[in-house]
Copies of this chain bind each other. A is one copy, B any other.
Amino acid sequence: MRKFEEVTTETREIFKGKIIHLNVDTVTLPDGNTSKREIIKHPGAVAVIAQKEDGKIIFVEQYRKALEKSLVEIPAGKLEAGEDPIVTAKRELEEETGYTTNQLELINSFYTSPGFADELVNVYFTSQLIPLEEKVAGDDDEFVELLELTLGEAEKLEKEQRIHDAKTSYALLYLKLRGLK
């Protein structure tokens, strides 16, 4: 038995959506008592730290309905079923930014909200960007605007909370540690 393992005695399926599923599990705790766990199942995601030759970083601004505001984020997207994350990363980069690449380095991966969701984000880095000659169509319901910013400009947006999500804040620290200005 794994440390502090919680053994599921019942799973109640509440919702199966386009993107997320919600289950409520009844669990037996390490002390023998029972509790409920509300769990979101998510297909997983990728994010790409894309650095141009001139040192500028590529961001996209989009409306986030859950927050009722727009955020400036590094390019990112959800995995299709069974998709290799590196394939998703290249696709999302092409759809959202108009660049492609043949070189994506996986720099880290992390669960975004381990308390209630299994969403895992794979974070890639590339400094080998190739402009696409023709735009690649993205999802019908996604409207994004491209921004190319120095790290200093991005840090200013973070102070203004126009950059305000975990993967993008992580990316800014990562780039600062690499010595970017």
A residues near B (Cβ < 8 Å) are 2-6, 8, 14-15, 17-20, 22, 24-25, 27, 29-31, 33, 35-40, 42, 45, 61-67, 69-71, 73, 76, 78, 108-119, 121, 140-141, 143-145, 158, 161, 164-170, 173-174, 176-177
Contact = CB atoms under 8 A, between A and B. Distances in A.
28 contacts: A2-B63, A4-B63, A4-B143, A8-B65, A14-B22, A17-B38, A20-B38, A22-B22, A25-B65, A27-B65, A29-B143, A30-B143, A31-B143, A40-B40, A64-B111, A66-B111, A66-B117, A67-B118, A71-B114, A108-B158, A109-B161, A109-B164, A110-B166, A112-B112, A113-B119, A169-B170, A170-B170, A177-B177
Q: Which 4 A-B pairs have the closest CB atoms?
A: A4-B63, A173-B173, A35-B141, A166-B166
A66 B115 contact: yes
A180 B134 CA distance: 46
Given A110-B165, A165-B110, A166-B110, A38 B19 contact: yes
B15 A15 contact: yes
A114 B165 CA distance: 7
A45 to B, nearest CB: 7
B22 A15 contact: yes
B38 A114 contact: no
